[in-house]
Amino acid sequence: MVPTEAYVALSGVLFSIGAVGVLTRRSAIMIFLSVELMLNAANLALVAYAYHWAGTGALTGISGQTAVFIILSVAAAEVAIGLGILVAIFRNRASTDVNALAEVRL
């Protein structure tokens, strides 16, 4: 049996890859994808912990799994808004490179 720590460690690695992506990528879409990776890392950790707590006989094992679905829907709402803003900007200047956002310093 794979111990819970292994799953959590994997989620930590995924989360770090996502965070590095946010800080280093230049395309707004790639930054956005990196954020999604971070969210899914959190989901993986939640599922792993839910399995762990269910294994100890705690009733709250199921609430961790439910939380994953809530976070998935939150992420979907964020995608809808984010892509809307991106499309509006792309229409004005045909680029999603954040370095081209001259008037704001990211």
Partner 1 sequence: MTVPEGFIVWSVLAPALILFGFALLTLLLAVFQQDRGFLAGVALTGIAGAAVFAFHLLMEAQHGVAESGFGLRYLADAHASALTLVILLGTALAVLVGQGTLERMRLDHPEYFPLLLLSATGGVVMVSAGDLITLLLGLEILSLPVYVLAAWRSDLRQSQEAGLKYFLLGAFASALFIYGIALTYGAGGHFDYANLMAAFSASGFEANLVALLGGAFLLAGLGFKVALAPFHQWAPDVYTGAPTPVTTFMSVVVKTAAFGALLRIAATVFASLEPGVFGGLLPGVLVVLVGATLIVGNLGALLQPGVKRMLSYSAVAHAGYLGLAVLAAGDRGMAAAGFYLAAYTLMNAGVFAALTQVMDDDDRGDGIDRFAGLARSRPWLAAAMAVCLLSLAGIPPFAGFIGKVLVIQGAFGTGHGFLAALAILMSIVAVVYYARVVVAMYFREPSGAVRTQPSRSRPVGAAIAIAVIGTIVLGIAPGLWYTLLDRGQNLLVFVAAR
Q: Does 98 bind partner 1 (CB under 8 A)?
A: yes
Integer Cα distance of 21 and 37 in angstroms: 9
Integer Cα distance of 101 and 26 in angstroms: 11
Stretch 37-96 residues interacting with partner 1 (CB under 8 A): 38-39, 41-43, 45-46, 48-50, 52-53, 56, 58, 60, 63-64, 67, 70-71, 74, 77-78, 81-82, 84-86, 88-89, 92-93
Helix (H, G, I), strand (E, B) or coil at 27: strand
76, two tokens: 């979907």
Helix (H, G, I), strand (E, B) or coil at 81: helix
Binding site for partner 1 (CB under 8 A): 8, 11, 15, 18-19, 22, 28, 31-32, 35, 38-39, 41-43, 45-46, 48-50, 52-53, 56, 58, 60, 63-64, 67, 70-71, 74, 77-78, 81-82, 84-86, 88-89, 92-93, 98, 101, 103-106
